[in-house]
Structure formats: structure tokens, C-alpha cells
Structure 1
């Protein structure tokens, strides 16, 4: 007949091993996830570095081409989502009507007014012209 102390000791060891096994399983799973994230970030970094190298090679030409465009555009245009909504209401137009005048989709106008996105430079110029427009001219553009 085995000694109760040795039976108790072996049972404690067995339970401890089982507990450690479950803890290490969770750690192994997390380490695996971290490793895959690190690998993904390394791949992304490599792609970005390649893009930077390509940009730096052709950077002289791109920078020279960009300067005259900045001079032609004149002063920089500001954009305010709240201002666009106010302007639209002042003209008494719907978002779809404003979109038709600006040559964009109604969803774009909605997203600009809600502040989810910002218009591009070309669209900012159209919005600036909208500011100078009156109700009659806006209706004429819609009909024309």
C-alpha cells in the first residue's frame, strides 16, 4: 500500500503539470500571433521603403513639376464642412443639386458636410466658385 504522502505529492505534480500546460498553450498561441504580425509589418515596411526609393529617384522631376502648379493656383483654399452645409442651405439646394453643380456624387457632398472626408484640390476650386454664386445663378447652372 502506497504512502499517502507520496500519492498526494504525485497528484499535486500531475495537477501542476496540467495547469502549466494550459498556461503555456495560451502563451504559444499569443506568440504565434505576434510573430505573424511582426512578419506582416516587416513586409509592409519593405514595400514602403521600396516606394520611398522610387520616389527619391524620380523626386527631382516630380518636385519641379509640382512647383508651377502651386503658383497657378494662387492662394490656398480653405475648406470647412460646416461652411459647405451653410452655403448649400443659403442657396436653397439639396446635396444632390450641389453635387450636380460641382460635378461630383451626392454621397461625396454628404461625406464632406459630415466631415468624414475632405475634397480634393480640384473640387475645392469648384466649391470656392460656389461661394461666389447666387441663388439665380445656381438654378441656372442646374437647368443648363
Structure 2
């Protein structure tokens, strides 16, 4: 299945700092992956109209049941307003039970760094997974 390449709804000011989010979702079944992918175009259309959206992309590995998202926002509030708006809100709730695993990571960067590369996003997600594993291990050892 094709990826959805980086799109820039509203370019940030050249000297701005942007708020970034990368996510990785793994679905339980192939059917769940197809459902996830079929909801993606509606979410992309929503991002293209979302106030404060500076960019977004999707890497879809449907047969591997894994999806990566990457987005850039004016600030954290713009991202959260988007996440609470339709169709993202109802789509994420409908798909929650279909998820085997998910990881999120957030950071800021200068606007000049956009678009963020997939290797950078995947590295940050791997770091977030490692941090979560270390926290879980520490909790088990308490």
C-alpha cells in the first residue's frame, strides 16, 4: 500500500519553533490494518484544514500491520485541538481496540528542519520504546 507523503498545509514562519509528533501503531490483525489504512485519507484531509498544522506524513506497512505517522504543529495546543476534532477523535476511538501496540514521541525543532525525515522519526520512536522499557523494568524492581 502506498505511503502518504509529507504535505504542508500551512508553512511556519522561517524562524519559528515547531512542535513535532511521531507515532507507531501496530494492529492486532491484517483486517484491523486495512481498517486503519482506510481511515487515513479522512484524517489527512482533516490535517490539511487544521489550524496550526505545518506538515504530516504516513508510512503504511499494511501487510506488516504497522503504521508510522509524523506531524508538525504550531504548538502542542494545535496538535491537541486536532486530536479532539472529527474525524480523528471518533476514528482513534473506533480503532483503539484494534491496536496491539503503539508508541508516541514529541519534541520541538526549528521550522527550517522541516520536513523531518523518516529515519529521524523512527530513531526517536525507538528511543521512546527504550525509555518505556527501562521505566517498566525499574518499576518491576521496586
Which one has a larger percent helix, Structure 1 or Structure 2? 1
Q: Which has the higher contact order (CA 8 A, sep 6+)?
A: 2
Which one has a larger percent strand, Structure 1 or Structure 2? 2
Instruction: Kindly name which structure, 1 or 2, has the bigger radius of gyration based on alpha carbons.
Output: 1
TM-score by length of 2: 0.24
TM-score by length of 1: 0.23
